[in-house]
Amino acid sequence: MTIAPARRVAFEVVRRVFEDDAYADRVFANVSTELDERDRALAQRIAYGTVQRARTIDHGIEELGGRALRKLDPPVRAALRISGFQFAWSEAPAHAVADDAVELVRAAGLERATKFTNAVVRRLADGFQELVASLPEGALKESYPDWVFDVWVRDWGFEEALELARAQNAPPPLDDYRGVSRGSRLAAEAVAARPGERVLDACAAPGNKTMLLVGDVTAVEVNETRARLLAERVPANVRVVNADVRELAERSFDRALVDAPCSGLGVLNRRPDLRWRARPLPDLQLELLRAAADRLRPGGTVVYSVCTINADENEDVVDACGLDIVPLGEEWPEFAHPKRPEFLLTTPHRHATSGFFVARLAK
């Protein structure tokens, strides 16, 4: 029996993500090259949706399948996972989904597991959608680690946390797929450099914000490969330096941008596996912010931005840095932080864009 090409690709992506700790977008780009446009879109929806919804799906497999997930062969797990996603969040015909699940397991060399796969996938077809609907609202139903949902409840209350969780399970806006969301552009605009000013981009790669900066830009990137790739695409006003900004010898910059590494809790809808690997990084963020500020001239300004929605990595880092806050809310009132209007905060559920925190500070 022929397996639908989109399901075959989604199956491969899901296996690589959960068995090899691979990044979903990179695997998908490599294994989907022979698909036509329609099948590619379908495969991406199944693969990314399955990775995002894995916690909920796994709960359903264990509840309806009667066996611990860890005891299943990896190909069986992957086939049941993509099937669960399609049963609950697509209009795919149940018989086609079930047939392909069995064939995927058979093609993986596990003929002995096909009967079990067939039995469980049909239980999922009959009962998984109803099981999902019956779950209490929260982290399990929306498929997030408890700590992520708990952070949002702490910072925003339960109802808004739920809105945020739902928004980040939906496909991202087109501009977010291109890597230049409104929040991302805000960070670059807030630097407010003028022609001729010396600008430090402290954590430059992949360079989407670097490209938007005005002035004589020194783009610092600690990773050698990423620095090389960045140097191949920057405009003439940008000089790329492969270094750690904490060790950079240059000083007296007029402006700086610290687009710091973070947990990424504002971009979970376009990075489907990130919710399962995300970690807050407030100590590193504070070090990078202070390092950039130390390299400013007196009176210079630094913009701190992160693509996360987590007070520990947002306002708490700024409050700890000891720099003077230069308010931004009056310049961009539609994006003013609802609790701290001197900062900016874009969110997927309020602004239909990636979640970004932006602060401007003066030395």
Question: In the structure encoding, which two tokens stand for residue 45, read together?
Answer: 């929806």
Buried b (16+ CB within 10 A) or exposed e, 141-178: bbbbeeebbebbbebbeeebbbbbbebbbeebbebbee
Query: CA of 6: how far to CAs of 24, 37, 101, 109, in Å?
Result: 15, 10, 12, 20
Burial of residue 298 (CB within 10 Å: 0-12, 13-18, 19+) is: exposed
Query: Of the residues 203, 262, 307, 321, which is catalytic?
Result: 307
Nearest to 335 by CA among 314, 319, 357: 357
- Residue pair 41/128 in contact (Cβ under 8 Å)? The answer is no
321 is an active site residue: no
Just list the catalytic residues: 307
